[in-house]
Structure 1
């Protein structure tokens, strides 16, 4: 009886045990003998039914254990993948949008306090020679930040680290820069104006900042911003008789690709005759920028302005620069046209330029291979982009 039961149970258990590892197999083998012992005690009539019930319950239990095991493994994998996904996701610049205004204010205050405490500790442990380093790092951080809430912290730390920086109101310049980048142009210019009036030491610094801001705004913003900038520059003309900022506006409008901006530059020169003195200082920069970017039409318009307002010295400088440009691209025909213009206008070239022209004339391959550069200087009007 024992042998018959064993022959019936073992094949069934073997068919199940090949799905599992060795540990489960030994467990099946142990249960095999316990099942066989129970069969021996029971009668022949109930042996087959008990066999099937015990085998089914044992198989269900093993399958359930495997299901629980694989679910736990999959949950661990899913958790690790989700954490990696959160780490790999780029941080949004406007993460404060997800927070309420109260939480944002509290977090900003805590951050400012941490930064302030850190800088205070640096101030206590640093020597006098390291104060400029701390101030420079602080200014660089704020210069590239768009968070206005950092400015009060910078103001407090400036008062501790350097009384000179605090009196010069350098933090106000940072605040004005942040306001400018956020699109509050009129408020930023008002802050620049008040800082300029109260501090003589940083006026040159303010002009340098405004020069960059004006050039970027005129090239990328609309007519409304240009009107605000022009009105602000006129305030300097009225109160200080200073045409520096207005010359920055004229230069940016003159270099602009928009015809309306070019017309504004022309109107400014006609309305403010004294602006010519400041424009003369910008001629060399305009010529260099135009020739580097191969914008010959800008140089042509500059020639017209210089001849109209009788700036002969600047005209000679621009003509010599244009001759050097034509020689650098080995254009003999353009050089010949410039030499002809020099003779007509009684402009003399330098000895080095004359020797370069002679060498270029003697090189036949340069004469044959040169492009007809003179064709780009046609009398036809340039194609302007109109801004509406």
Structure 2
């Protein structure tokens, strides 16, 4: 009995020892895994903070903080901390950081710092930051440089924010009146806002009035805006709006001696898929000699764009327009480019047709076109040199006959 009791006691002791070791190993494994998980979570969070654009420098317009002294503001700046006794929570730190952005007071910043903040907010299309910056600019009566100021005016006009646009214009008249005077009283930004709101005719009238008195720098800005206006009109708006845009282009051509807008409108209408737009382009071409001269200067580029898109029919239509006004040098350029295009495609029939048309129209093409046509007619044999064709004959002459003797 004593031996049995001793054996039982030893067995229970060894079992208890094994269970204790297994529990210790399991606890260590869990603790190590938890530690690794926390470290990985912290690393992932730091990487997210570095890459997340929402945690960049923010601007906040808090009237209570602005009224406090500088030392008081610095003392009240938010500090992110993790309570020692609280449980680790990744989302809590993220919420603390995003709900307490870093405060920037532009009244204490240099102009190039303000330029950088405004330009970054506009390029990132961060409407909240733009509005916060604008509110401080309006409060402290400070504006960025002229280039960034034009970006901000155009951004507000595109955003159809009439209230802030009018406030910014009033601020410009107060701080830099010369800039406003030289920039046509900023009428073109009102025109852009009206265009985005759908008031097309009123918008074009604003652009027209602005073009009358603007300087060269402002004209570049207006032309860039009008490019977007034309792009949004061709094939998308009514014919009445298109005619109104063309009327502004004709005004620029006749009164300001600037053919840019009319040329751009003509090219977009000529290359449009709508027949009505193409008819408007043909009428414009017949009406304005200055437009025909301007198109002649841009002929290589227009042909290249059409042929790149495999639209040979448009190139033939352009040929007809030049023929109608007996512009033979331009017709010759069109024929040459058509021939090169068809020769690159190895289209013998099309190349022959172009050569025949040039003869009928009495528009001589370069000799190289005739040689290329022969190349297509004769094929690869036309490329053989005289030496290559004569060598086999010489070998035949020098070949020795073999005789078989029968004795």
- TM-score normalised over the length of structure 2: 0.51
Q: Is the 8 A contact 1:233 1:245 kept in 2?
A: yes
Deviation digits for residues 186-212 of structure 1, max 9, x if unmatched?
343223222221135357526743662
Equivalent-residue separation in structure 1 for 2:96 and 2:311 (angstroms): 54
Question: What is the match of residue 296 of structure 1?
Answer: 312
Question: CA 1:312/1:162 → structure 2, altered by over 3 Å: closer, same or farther?
Answer: farther
Deviation (angstroms), 1:307: 2.0
1:347 is the counterpart of 2:360: no
Deviation (angstroms), 1:352: 4.7
Equivalent-residue separation in structure 2 for 1:95 and 1:168 (angstroms): 26
Find 1:248's aligned residue among 246, 264, 270. Answer: 264
1:337 is the counterpart of 2:353: yes
Question: What is the match of residue 191 of structure 1?
Answer: 206
Deviation digits for residues 136-170 of structure 1, max 9, x if unmatched?
45545655663453676488679978956862449
Equivalent-residue separation in structure 1 for 2:212 and 2:143 (angstroms): 33
Equivalent-residue separation in structure 2 for 1:303 and 1:115 (angstroms): 61
Find 1:112's aligned residue among 137, 140, 143. Answer: 137
Q: Where in structure 2 are the equivalents of 1:349-364 lying within 5 Å?
A: 349-361=365-377, 363-364=379-380
Deviation digits for residues 205-261 of structure 1, max 9, x if unmatched?
267436623540233521143133134334446755766544433322111001121
SS at match of 2:216: coil
SS at match of 1:257: coil
Structure showing greater relative contact order (alpha-carbon pairs closer than 8 Å, 6 or more residues apart): 1
Question: What is the match of residue 216 of structure 1?
Answer: 231
Equivalent-residue separation in structure 2 for 1:325 and 1:317 (angstroms): 12
Q: Is the 8 A contact 1:255 1:286 kept in 2?
A: no
| Unpaired stretches in structure 2, ≥5 consecutive residues | 1-22, 29-85, 100-123, 383-407
Q: Is the 8 A contact 1:214 1:249 kept in 2?
A: no
Equivalent-residue separation in structure 2 for 1:85 and 1:206 (angstroms): 38
Find 2:332's aligned residue among 301, 316, 339. Answer: 316
Question: CA 1:115/1:289 → structure 2, altered by over 3 Å: closer, same or farther?
Answer: farther
Q: Where in structure 2 are the equivalents of 1:1-388 lying within 5 Å?
A: 107=132, 109-113=134-138, 117=142, 119=144, 134-140=145-151, 143=154, 146-147=158-159, 148=161, 149=164, 153=168, 167-169=182-184, 171-174=186-189, 176-177=191-192, 179-202=194-217, 205=220, 208-209=223-224, 212-223=227-238, 224-236=240-252, 239=255, 245-270=261-286, 275-361=291-377, 363-364=379-380
Question: CA 1:231/1:169 → structure 2, altered by over 3 Å: closer, same or farther?
Answer: closer
- TM-score normalised over the length of structure 1: 0.53
Q: Is the 8 A contact 2:235 2:272 kept in 1?
A: no
